[in-house]
Amino acid sequence: MVVKDIIRKALADIEASGKNIPNPMGEIYMLLEHLSGKDKLFLTLNKDFEVNEEEFFEFLNKRLNDTPMAYIIGKKHFRDIIIKTDERALIPRFCTEELIDIVNGFIKPDDCVLDMCTGTGAIALAIKEENPLIHVACSDISEDALNLAKENAKLNNLSIDFILSDLFENINETYDILISNPPYISSEEYMGLDKDLFKEPKLALVGGDLGYEYYEKIIKQAREKIKRMIFFEIGYDQGNIVKEILEKYKYKDIKIYKDLESFDRFVSACI
């Protein structure tokens, strides 16, 4: 089927499904690009270009059944790297890219950096790609997620260390900087999430009944293994809570950073 006919039918199918797809044309073109190997400009200018109809509508049906787009096409751009994405780990979010900019402002050439709760490895790999001289390690409690992170390191030709660990349990070395985007959604909030989020690992989303339990666990233990600074991604309403936990354990120079939508999203502190 040619592009213009696929677009027409896909829009009709989306409307008939009653699903709230915020940017239907954008997602249609993402699928077309994935299947054809052509970019959006080519497909826009060549509406009579043939694309496999069966495959396209198989993918669209998955999307209409709440499968996230990143799982359907199997990859996500993150900073200047490509991250393989599947059900083994949480899909990297655009806002997390802002955390890399913050951390980069504090990294020294001989630093050792640990990315805890790494998931796909996106944070660790982006940090390594942008700071090739430093030593980077990543850890996760999920062996499946850690294997995905290893695949992403190979995909991007980047060398980092991988540690299977429940927080600091198997962390034997010391590091200058800790970065973590831990699970931070409360059990109650989880039940109200969009359906496509239920396709992502619950282990990577829920931070206990209150949502901030992992922050306290990490902050309490970090002094034994982290020498200089820690950085967190946080929920939009957790800035003051995480700040209070850091103060409780005598951390210094605590800063809360807003994301591009002006929500509290990141925290840094000195040991």
Q: Residue 195: what pLDDT?
A: 85
Q: Does the domain made of 88-270 have the CATH classification 3.50.50.60?
A: no
Which residues share a beta bridge with 255? 268
pLDDT in single tens digits along all 271 residues of the chain: 999 999 999 999 999 999 888 899 999 999 999 999 999 999 999 999 999 999 999 999 999 999 999 999 999 999 999 999 999 999 999 999 999 999 999 999 999 999 999 999 999 999 999 999 999 999 999 999 999 999 999 999 999 999 999 999 999 999 999 999 999 899 988 988 888 888 999 989 999 888 999 999 999 999 999 999 999 999 999 999 999 999 999 999 999 999 999 999 999 999 9
Which H or E run contains 244? helix 239-248
Residues in the chain: 271
Q: Residue 131: what pLDDT?
A: 98
Q: Residue 193: what pLDDT?
A: 86
Backbone angles phi, psi at 252, to 5 degrees: -120, 165
Q: Residue 196: what pLDDT?
A: 85
Nearest to 151 by CA among 127, 118, 180, 114: 118
Instruction: Give yes or no for a contact between 267 and 261, defined as CB atoms under 8 angstroms apart.
Output: no
Instruction: Give yes or no for a contact between 170 and 161, defined as CB atoms under 8 angstroms apart.
Output: no
In whole angstroms, give the CA distance from residue 243 to residue 164: 28
In whole angstroms, give the CA distance from residue 171 to residue 267: 22
Backbone angles phi, psi at 39, to 5 degrees: -85, 170
Q: Residue 194: what pLDDT?
A: 84
Instruction: Give yes or no for a contact between 86 and 151, defined as CB atoms under 8 angstroms apart.
Output: no
In whole angstroms, give the CA distance from residue 151 to residue 205: 22
Residue boundaries of the structural domains of the chain: 3-65, 88-270
The pTM (predicted TM-score) of the whole model is: 0.93
Instruction: Give yes or no for a contact between 195 and 65, defined as CB atoms under 8 angstroms apart.
Output: no
Which residues share a beta bridge with 78? 81
Instruction: Give yes or no for a contact between 11 and 1, defined as CB atoms under 8 angstroms apart.
Output: no
